Amino acid sequence: MTAGCIWRYGLAQVIITTLPFSAAPSGTSFWLAAGTYKPSACTVCDAPQRALSFSVASGVALYGGFAGNETDLARRDINRYPATLSGDIGLPGSNTDNSLHVVTITAATPQTRLDGLIIRDGNAGNEDGGGLLIEAAAAESSPTVVQCRFIDNRARQGGALCARAAGVRNPVASATFSDCEFTGNAAALGGAYYGEQAQARLTPGFVRCRFRANTSAVNGGAVGLFSQDTQASRGLNEPVFVSCLFSANTAANVGGALYTHNYSEYGGRGDSRAILINCTLSGNTARAAGGAGGTGIASVYTHGSSLGPGPVSITSCILWNNSGGSFFPVQTARGEGITYSLIEEGAACAGNSSSNPRFADPAAGDYWLTECSPAVDAGTTAPLSGETTDLAGQPRLAGRQVDMGAYELQTPPTNDVMVTVRDGNWNDPTVWSCTRIPVVSDTVKVRHTIIIPAAYKGQVKHIQYDPSGRLVFSTGSILQTGF
């Protein structure tokens, strides 16, 4: 096999060894036909068998989604022809004898690629990274992962994914994950992803990823970060999440979605910092102290760093309806690092709000914005880092400004009819269906008794009345129409 050749695997339901992926030269692509592939054929699996994994060599690419007769990568269909890398060796359906790590990648370039695969049922036991373990040692390890689904993997830390570095000062692990899904993974710390920094630079990027129903037996239902660097040369543990959705994740203790811990307060110099841009965190649960009936502490729980710029940066995000609250920072001010975001409990910094984001149907897992959402056009374009599409692949900028949250409303409010929702004052936003005061371009429908306060001057395009609606003008108030 030579570099650059294409090797197609045309058999479904097969068990293959680790050899092809680990021994292939850089530049080799593997096309995987629909089927389930396992790292071992054992039926009674001992420790050496469980330790086998799909080890992907640097520069090698794995593509899923083929019927087996394609000659063009563009003709694959990852939904119709799913290729699954499964750690469910031994007794089917029992995870106690499964592969420790389904896929391992060590010291790999960004050309190393997992694309259109399902990675599931790894069980690392007391080790980390049940689905995928990325290790940087003497060299950088920064693979590219696209359209992969990590399902039902478990580990001590990082059920689906662990990035770590050891042995060499300042190794780099900056994998990128685009359009991936992390569902049903479990760990003690970081149900889906765990990043541990020790003099390393861990800077993975997650773009348009879904973290759903992952669980942590302790902290960080979806993501856990931990830094413990006591050396003078300081590392960095700084994942970036852009246009990601965190929903229905659960931590038995704190951080229903995300947990960061810096040990700098104990003399180390580690720096764990999660950067969230245009993310939606909703429906996550932190139970605190392991009790199902506990009040819990926060979807985002951070231990601060006295040396770093702050353990979290949240921009153009929505944190809403998380059991145990949105944000609990230890050692940093409550609103620090949060801007242009909708935080249920509020945050003091620029551009933040605390109004109901009016998701389309959150009970059904639909976190798209509706036309009346106060999150529409309320984000900021400043830190977008060049990402031009939202979680649904739609243009990120629609309307006057970037929206808050993972989804961009493509049909911005057209100033259709705003209606009153209760009796009250005209200049009370909560009186109106869009939770804002009408402006000159609005047509409004009055269905209740609405008082125009004394000396108030307002302008609207047009006023309609329901039979139950009336306006009460106070002294000196003016309402102009006909624009």
Distance of CA 423 to the CA centre of its chain: 40
Closest listed residue to residue 115, CA positions, set 30, 172, 52 = 30
The least CB distance from residue 396 to Ca ion, in Å, is: 9
Q: Minimal distance in Å, beta carbon 190 to Ca ion?
A: 23
Enclosing H/E stretch for 425: strand 424-425
Report how far residue 279's alpha carbon sits from residue 246's, in angstroms, rounded to the nearest whole number.
Answer: 8
Count of Cβ atoms closer than 10 Å to residue 39 Cβ: 29
CB nearer Ca ion, residue 304 or residue 405: 405
Would you tell me which residues interact with Ca ion (CB under 5 A)? Answer: 88, 90-91, 94, 97-98, 377, 398-399, 403
**Which is nearer to Ca ion, 123 or 197 (by Cβ)?**
123
Q: How far is the CB of 280 from Ca ion (least distance, A)?
A: 14
Q: Minimum CB separation from Ca ion for residue 322, in Å? A: 24
Residues in a beta bridge with 240: 205, 275
Nearest CB to Ca ion, comparing residues 97 and 128: 97
In terms of CB distance, is 50 or 269 closer to Ca ion?
50
Distance CA 446, CA 457 (A): 17
Nearer to Ca ion, 333 or 382 (CB): 382
| Nearest residue relative to Ca ion (C-beta) | 399
- Shortest spacing between CB 125 and Ca ion, in angstroms: 13
CA dist 430 and 128 (Å) reads: 48
For the bound state, the minimum distance from the C-beta of residue 94 to Ca ion, rounded and expressed in Å, comes to 5
CB under 8 Å to 350, separation ≥6 — which residues?
Answer: 339, 340
When the beta carbons of 43 and 481 are compared against Ca ion, the nearer one is 43
The Cα 212–Cα 257 span in angstroms is: 9
Nearer to Ca ion, 97 or 135 (CB): 97
CB of 262 to Ca ion, least distance (A): 35
Q: Following DSSP, what letter does each residue of 89-109 receive, concatenated?
A: -SSTT-GGGS-S-SEEEES--
Q: Are 304 and 332 in contact (CB under 8 A)?
A: yes
- Sign of the dihedral through C-alpha 330, 333, 335, 336: negative
C-alpha 259/C-alpha 271 separation (Å) is: 13
Q: Which is nearer to Ca ion, 94 or 295 (CB)?
A: 94
Least Cβ distance, residue 379 to Ca ion (angstroms): 7
